Structure 1
Amino acid sequence: MTEIGTPEKVDDIEIRLLLEALFLKYHYDFRNYAMASVKRRLKQAREQLGFATFSALQESLLHEPAMLPKLLRYLTVQVSEMFRNPSYFRAIREKVVPHLKTYPTLKVWVAGCSGGEELYSLVILFREEGLEERTIFYATDINQEALQAAEAGIYPLDRLQLFTENHRKAGGKTSLSEYYQAAYGGASFDKGLRRNVVFSDHSLVTDAVFGEMQLISCRNVMIYFDRGLQDRALGLFKDSLARKGFLGLGAKESLRFSKHAGEFADFVREEKIYQRQDR
């Protein structure tokens, strides 16, 4: 008699089939994300969206396009804050900006921009340092709803105290209140902050280089990738950076074990800011 797999093993099979279906149908590739994290998020999605099995969720995904954005809410992490880890932004301001000021024009890529908090933090910092006018900012994410939220630039009022304190600790030269006004039941950030911003759908998993950047900030995105996918993303960043360009990663991320580690030098080691080596 053939042994029937345990429910746990059946779940694993169904999850892999679901991820394969998501890739083949919509070209969103989560197959090499850290599986423990993906499994936890898919279980939450299955339960909250009302499906008894992952196979039932897969059937809905394949035949009902409206299910895609619902599922992506669970698979893409949308938790951030303005000037998160203020010491990172202080290091950008004090150590990286002096180098950036030597360029006549600049391109900055915020990869995995989520709801836009990191983007606005950098635009405000660049405005305070006199660099905004010569800079194009690219804000990318795979989640269309996140991109729409980022472009709207409206955040709950109860988050502004934290944002304001982070801005101060990051070396802010003005009051954060100068950049927003209360509206729509929240804090609406100045539309002028988006004047030089390009919002775009871009996947670190499947998409290619689209420009030459002087600074790339991609924080707390690769912690959800497995080693092969981390290498893929870091290779993309390497190929996207101009000579002596800068890469900022999250506090729990590192280049240390990447095959691309030799292409970068530590610039501000404690803040995970690296500089592209000469080509």
Structure 2
Amino acid sequence: MIDTPAQDKVEDIEIRLLLEALYLKYHYDFRNYAMASIKRRLKQAREQLGFSTFSSLQESLLYNPDMLPRLLRYLTVQVSEMFRDPTYFKAIREHVVPHLRTYPTLKVWVAGCSEGEELYSLVILFREEGLEERTIFYATDINQDALSAAESGIYPVDRIRLFTENHRLSGGKTSLSNYYQAAYGNASFDKSLRRNVVFSDHSLVTDAVFGEMHLVSCRNVMIYFDKKLQNRALGLFNDSLARKGFLGLGSKESLRFSDYGSAFSDFDRSEKIYQKVGE
């Protein structure tokens, strides 16, 4: 059945009401996410969770607390891989790390950490470069299930071949197999990788800055935000970064046309790594 323009308009109203209910009831704010993206994910949720309309999904969300984590799995993107876009991590290794070596202590924020793949990539990179011991890593996400998965550090073993190749292409100095044990179809990453990590619930939409960082990596998160929300997130990163701190974005994200373009310089334009302008 093909949706008519009238049906589309009604669905858009239902979606806005659903997002408002989600915010008022649970304080998760998706109201300024890009509409096309949020509509696509909500349609998938509605169909797979067995609801005929967004209104019926909203009713269940309001009266059935078990519906919240189920819906969040659709609204928060949990697709990533270790050392995704290896050239990004190679640029951090070769060009950002020499600057970070000059600090006696370091703080790194992985914003929107999903299930932890990017976090572990950075921890392993920092260990190989001799910076792990002086670094505190903050891994944040709005999805508690994702944070729990990140904290467990367990991934299907069939993903390890891709992770291993990415690690090699990123300039890895050891074998990725040094960092995990494989058993029963899963690869469990070593607990020592989490000893300097703080996992925390944090929303780029509603929460504030919580510390001074030397590197913020937030990749492939803001592409789902509208311009207003992108500016809010970039404002948080700007406020949280130390002078001449570094910001890494996803390959399709940019500071151009944002309110904070002048606050950063292009450190590595091709890899979307920016440096906060010094005062």
TM-score category, normalised to shorter length? over 0.9
Which SS does the other structure have where 1:232 is aligned?
helix
How many residues get paired? Answer: 275
Which SS does the other structure have where 1:98 is aligned?
helix
1:89-120, CA deviations, whole angstroms, 9 ceiling, x for partnerless residues? 00000000000000000000000000100000
1:136-172, CA deviations, whole angstroms, 9 ceiling, x for partnerless residues? 0000000000000000000111110000000000000
Which SS does the other structure have where 2:136 is aligned?
strand
Task: Give distance in 2, aligned partners of 1:259 and 1:199.
Answer: 29
The question of 1:27 aligning with 2:31 is answered no
TM-score normalised according to structure 2 size: 0.98
Task: Give distance in 2, aligned partners of 1:257 and 1:184.
Answer: 49
Q: What is aligned with 1:159? A: 159
Which SS does the other structure have where 2:81 is aligned?
coil
The alpha carbon displacement at 1:276 in A equals 0.4
1:9-28, CA deviations, whole angstroms, 9 ceiling, x for partnerless residues? 11010000000000001111
Task: Give distance in 2, aligned partners of 1:93 and 1:109.
Answer: 16
Task: Give distance in 2, aligned partners of 1:249 and 1:83.
Answer: 14
Letter of the structure 2 residue corresponding to residue 275 of structure 1: Q
Q: What is aligned with 1:185? A: 185
Q: What is aligned with 1:9? A: 9
The alpha carbon displacement at 1:184 in A equals 4.5
Task: Give distance in 2, aligned partners of 1:139 and 1:76.
Answer: 15
Which SS does the other structure have where 1:236 is aligned?
helix
Task: Give distance in 2, aligned partners of 1:86 and 1:22.
Answer: 36
The alpha carbon displacement at 1:185 in A equals 2.6
The alpha carbon displacement at 1:183 in A equals 2.9
The question of 1:227 aligning with 2:227 is answered yes
Task: Give distance in 2, aligned partners of 1:62 and 1:187.
Answer: 38
TM-score normalised according to structure 1 size: 0.98
Task: Give distance in 2, aligned partners of 1:86 and 1:69.
Answer: 32
Task: Give distance in 2, aligned partners of 1:74 and 1:253.
Answer: 22
Q: What is aligned with 2:241? A: 241
Equivalences for 1:1-279 in 2 at 5 Å? 6-279=6-279
- Unaligned 5+ segments in structure 1 are none
Task: Give distance in 2, aligned partners of 1:135 and 1:278.
Answer: 22
Which SS does the other structure have where 1:103 is aligned?
coil
